[in-house]
Structure 1
Amino acid sequence: MTIPPRKHLVVFSTHFWGHSRPMCTLVARIVKLRPVLITFLTVQNVHSRAEAELVRDFQPGEEHLVSRIRVIALEEGIEADETSGAPVVFKAVWDRLCNDQPLTCAKTGTRFEAFPVRPSAALLDSFAVDAHDIVRETSGDAVKLYTWYPVSTNSFFHVFSEDKYPEAKAEAARTGRPLLDVAYEMMWSSSGALMHSPCLPTIHDYEMHPQGFRLPKLLVANVLIRIAGAIHKADGLITFDAADYHPQATAAVRQHFAEKSRTAFYAGPLMPSGAQAAAKEKINSENGGEIMAFLDEKLKSAGEHSVLYLSFGSLFWPPDPAKLWAAVDVLMEKNIPFVMSHGASLASPLPDDVKARIENYGNAIVSDWVPQQALLEHPATGWYLMHGGHNGTLESVTAGVPMIVWPIDADQPMNAIYLADDIGVAYELIEVRGGCGLGTIFRNGRTPVGTIDAVKEEMRSVLDRAFGEDGAEKRARLQGLRKTLQAAWREDGVARGEVCAFLDGF
């Protein structure tokens, strides 16, 4: 007998695909676990990709469950700090949801009639700070409010455990300085102050920004500094991080929330599974067939683990591209076959001379988007040169592919430390650093040189080790963590249990 849905969950993602992609898989898993209706609110430039990603996790015979999910794009904001649609638009949509009124998708024009159940809970991207305020002010405690934490939780104590916004407002009032300036300096310091964490080594504040990369002031001073406050307003936190990825971080975060009588739920890893997942990823990726054929050929001609995959995710890119092209030159010098993703939002154009060298090399593919999950799971793939973003990190760990990490910002420096120093399944590139990131590293006293020659020398050394005995040891070491994370969504897995507990809590 089919049980009619009695709960209605509203989820809200942002412009950042790295935040939205795992949320798609979570939503698909939720409707399989419980009779829940879901309104998936997003923005127009993510809408089509979200719809395509959602269906990847459904298997034949589960098509009826898709009807419980409706994906609706909102009108988008125009300000630099708008990461999740204009607040006034979200307020109007939330009011309609709470008053049994229809909604219209701004992307497709499709009209959606009201669900038979009003919202029971809201799961909002942590960057959607205004949306947190709107739900709480409009619905009070009648609707459970949860924050979606779309990065590694080992970054929590460095960035979001303390609400600094009231302090920034007080300092701005005391000094007469603009609040944006005060808030920006408070969040984006590179003075050399020491930062402590219960789950990672002590670092200088500038080590949070190893490339000297700077996000726009409005995003930092009007969104990032308010995230801790948004988290504190919520009834709990849900993350796509895996509880067993960094157990010390998990324990510390759980304790932090327990002290406030709230819960942190670990839902990861969240990657679509099954035959449908692989097939639809290849269809949705540019040059997917060509890339998989390239890997098949390299498996025959060069053997297992012979190919290096190079990607900085969907957003980030090295601020000094000359260092990246120097690293690519070393790959070609050593005749290592590689696949490079060039689709990041911040990616710089491929210079004509670099493009010509890669074409003449003939042992590589450059594509805007790749079928990343299928690529990492292919036996020809040996190493992942990446920025340390958590989507890619969990995908690489789950596929058993060790990493060469080139951290840029956000949670990436913390992942690099953990993967390379704490558990020994990766190499961290140091000489690629720039700007304030060229300061001395607290944990080992090393000071990067940061020149092109230094980048090339380090890259040669790392590749020699990666494709040698040391790299084989790292790969073998990674397999234990791989098996643990692969079990997270089994019948008795930790992620499955935590998501069920979340669903039973509202």
Structure 2
Amino acid sequence: MATSNPQTHVVIVSSPQVGHIVCNLELGNRLVVDHNVHVTFFVVAESKASTGESETIQSARAQKLLNIIELPPVDISSKVEPNSPIFTTLTTIMRETNPLLRSAISALKPRPTALFVDIFGTAALEVAEEFHMLKYVFVTTALPLALAVYINILDKEVEGEYVDQKEPLRLPGCMPVRPDDVVDPLMNRTKHEYRVFLQVGLEIRRSDGLMVNMWEDLDTKTLKAMREEECYGSLPVYAVGPLFRPVEQSDLKSGLLDWLDEQPVESVIYVSFGVTGKLSAQQITELAWGLELSQQRFMLVLRSNNKDKGINLLDYLPDGFLERTHNLGQVVTADWVPQSAILSHGSVGGFLSHFGWNSVVESIISGVPMIAWPLYAEHKMNAALLAEELRVAVRPKIAPTKGVVGREEIEMMIRKVMEDHEEGKAMRARIKELKNSGEKAWAKGGSSFNALSQIAKQCEMNLQSQEGK
């Protein structure tokens, strides 16, 4: 255990998005277990919470490590359109939650000394200032964070749309960002979402420190640039990952694991597009053909909540597909599956993923190479890092958001990851090195353990300073 004062009390505020809830909860658990910090966890409730959100919060309550408080839903109907992009919707929800958060924090005992928010909750930093709390922003990866912090400079330097630029966007000291790979809010500079992103970028600069769910070996270049280049605001940057949803006892009871138990080592490619990932009917058909043509064992997850006008997604599979692949794979329709348990199973040898960062981290820590299928948010930037810099993933030639990826290319990517040829061997060797470095980072005395220990110490010092006044 670290030597933090047991009375040190911090607040984590999570947006109502299951991937962020998972990461923020694990951050809270680490602060409690490893650094003896008392954590109050606020999550903004949604009127229609997903199965994943509900189960994640329920599981965290059962552990009794954190003081979990759900703030009631807020009405944003007069602020945004019903079909507004997710970035605008979530940042608006969090901004409108500030009065509730302010009231809830004022009632907390002992007095909290720090506030942690995710990318959607930066508006809450002003609440932290009112209570003289330290302010930290916790995000997924370093490169999208660098872009968010630097965006107000790019806004003045770049003429026209970012996606129409002929050359990659230059972030000092970082990997260049292809115009096609920019995050969703930068796709159209005339939209309200872009202005919201500019505002978030400015708010991030008001924090006392930035935290990323990475470890030092994962993106050394970007972490170094953000620490050394003044254009990023000269803020401390802490790599505190890997943080991910651990395998729980209840996960091991899934029948999906029973099927995996019967398969050879590293023989199954797991295919899943996250809680909100959605494919067109044509793309589901091509994906199924690619799986069948590859002749690799597979587990294909099609979210049952992605029904389109009442049509079952199984109807989009090729005629006879389920019968022909009966002995080869499993097709699962479900709102939620125990992904960490699946990826860590010895039979899984590849992961075709939408490339949300939680999924990427789970795959790395399981030592499973990937096929990148980026769909939204920062996923394309994640794919560029993993495929081109770290070389533990492959990605299709055409972005899945721009067109249909054909069955032949899908078959080729699956074989490249799964078959025992030179490129596949090299990917597996590299990702096992990253797995080992991630595990070392979180061992006591490792880089991530020490980074969070520094933050806990700062929170304790702020408590002592407040008590001395």
Q: What's the TM-score, normalizing by structure 2?
A: 0.81
What code does the residue aligned with 2:242 have? P
The yes-or-no answer on 1:227 pairing with 2:233 is no
- 1:328 aligned residue (288, 291, 297): 288
1:479-498 to 2 correspondences below 5 Å? 479-498=432-451
1:139-178 to 2 correspondences below 5 Å? 139=131, 142-149=132-139, 151-163=140-152
- Alignment CA distance shift 1:243-1:475 (3 Å): same
Which residue of structure 2 aligns with residue 123 of structure 1?
116
Partners of 1:315 and 1:11 in 2: CA distance: 24
Partners of 1:373 and 1:460 in 2: CA distance: 25
What code does the residue aligned with 2:34 have? L
Q: Which deviates more from structure 2 when the two are superposed, residues 126-135 or residues 76-85?
A: 76-85
- Alignment CA distance shift 1:357-1:278 (3 Å): farther
The yes-or-no answer on 1:313 pairing with 2:280 is no
1:452-463 to 2 correspondences below 5 Å? 455-463=406-414
Q: Which deviates more from structure 2 when the two are superposed, residues 352-361 or residues 5-14?
A: 352-361
* Cα deviation 1:120-144 (Å, max 9, x = unaligned): 11111121233223433x33xx211
Partners of 1:55 and 1:92 in 2: CA distance: 21
The yes-or-no answer on 1:95 pairing with 2:103 is yes
- Alignment CA distance shift 1:205-1:309 (3 Å): same
Task: Return the offset for 1:52.
Answer: 3.4
Partners of 1:329 and 1:86 in 2: CA distance: 42
Which residue of structure 1 aligns with residue 14 of structure 2?
13
Q: Is there any run of 5+ residues in structure 1 with no aligned partner, and where?
A: 101-114, 169-181, 283-287, 436-449
- Alignment CA distance shift 1:419-1:328 (3 Å): same
Q: Is the 8 A contact 1:200 1:418 kept in 2?
A: no
Task: Return the offset for 1:504.
Answer: 0.7
**After the TM superposition, which parts of structure 1 deviate over 6 Å for at least 4 consecutive aligned residues?**
164-168, 212-216, 344-347
- 1:73 aligned residue (64, 71, 82): 71
- 2:258 aligned residue (293, 308, 311): 293
- Alignment CA distance shift 1:54-1:317 (3 Å): same
1:50-61 to 2 correspondences below 5 Å? 50-54=56-60
Task: Return the offset for 1:458.
Answer: 1.5
- 2:370 aligned residue (362, 380, 403): 403
Partners of 1:216 and 1:40 in 2: CA distance: 36
Which residue of structure 2 aligns with residue 477 of structure 1?
430
Q: Which deviates more from structure 2 when the two are superposed, residues 255-264 or residues 70-79?
A: 255-264
Q: Which deviates more from structure 2 when the two are superposed, residues 88-97 or residues 455-464?
A: 88-97
Partners of 2:380 and 2:232 in 1: CA distance: 27
Which residue of structure 2 aligns with residue 365 of structure 1?
331
- 1:352 aligned residue (308, 312, 315): 315
Task: Return the offset for 1:336.
Answer: 2.3
- Alignment CA distance shift 1:427-1:92 (3 Å): closer
Identity %: 21
1:188-207 to 2 correspondences below 5 Å? 189-192=163-166, 194-198=168-172, 201-207=175-181
What code does the residue aligned with 1:240 have? N
Partners of 1:432 and 1:189 in 2: CA distance: 13
SS of the residue corresponding to residue 125 of structure 2 reads helix
Partners of 2:221 and 2:259 in 1: CA distance: 40
* Cα deviation 1:306-333 (Å, max 9, x = unaligned): 1111112223334x45234302212023
- Alignment CA distance shift 1:431-1:11 (3 Å): same
Q: Which deviates more from structure 2 when the two are superposed, residues 358-367 or residues 245-254?
A: 358-367
Task: Return the offset for 1:204.
Answer: 3.8
- Alignment CA distance shift 1:214-1:406 (3 Å): farther
SS of the residue corresponding to residue 254 of structure 2 reads helix
Task: Return the offset for 1:55.
Answer: 6.0
* Cα deviation 1:372-398 (Å, max 9, x = unaligned): 111111111010001222111111111
Task: Return the offset for 1:270.
Answer: 0.8
Task: Return the offset for 1:6.
Answer: 2.1
Partners of 1:216 and 1:338 in 2: CA distance: 43
What code does the residue aligned with 1:374 have? A
Partners of 1:166 and 1:132 in 2: CA distance: 23
* Cα deviation 1:469-494 (Å, max 9, x = unaligned): 13122112221111111112111111
- Alignment CA distance shift 1:481-1:54 (3 Å): same
SS of the residue corresponding to residue 364 of structure 1 reads strand
Q: What's the TM-score, normalizing by structure 1?
A: 0.76
What value does the CA root-mean-square deviation take over the aligned residues? 3.4
Partners of 1:228 and 1:124 in 2: CA distance: 14
Q: Is the 8 A contact 2:4 2:457 kept in 1?
A: no
- 2:250 aligned residue (280, 284, 292): 280
Partners of 1:479 and 1:89 in 2: CA distance: 42
Q: Is there any run of 5+ residues in structure 2 with no aligned partner, and where?
A: 460-469
What code does the residue aligned with 2:415 have? D
What code does the residue aligned with 1:20 have? I
The yes-or-no answer on 1:255 pairing with 2:228 is yes
Partners of 1:327 and 1:201 in 2: CA distance: 31
- 2:211 aligned residue (213, 223, 238): 238
Number of residue equivalences = 432
Partners of 1:375 and 1:216 in 2: CA distance: 42
SS of the residue corresponding to residue 70 of structure 1 reads strand
- Alignment CA distance shift 1:296-1:420 (3 Å): same
Q: Is the 8 A contact 1:257 1:263 kept in 2?
A: no
Q: Is the 8 A contact 1:13 1:124 kept in 2?
A: yes
Which residue of structure 1 aligns with residue 466 of structure 2?
none
Which residue of structure 1 aligns with residue 125 of structure 2?
132
* Cα deviation 1:442-479 (Å, max 9, x = unaligned): xxxxxxxx566xx2221222223222313122112221
Which residue of structure 2 aligns with residue 393 of structure 1?
360
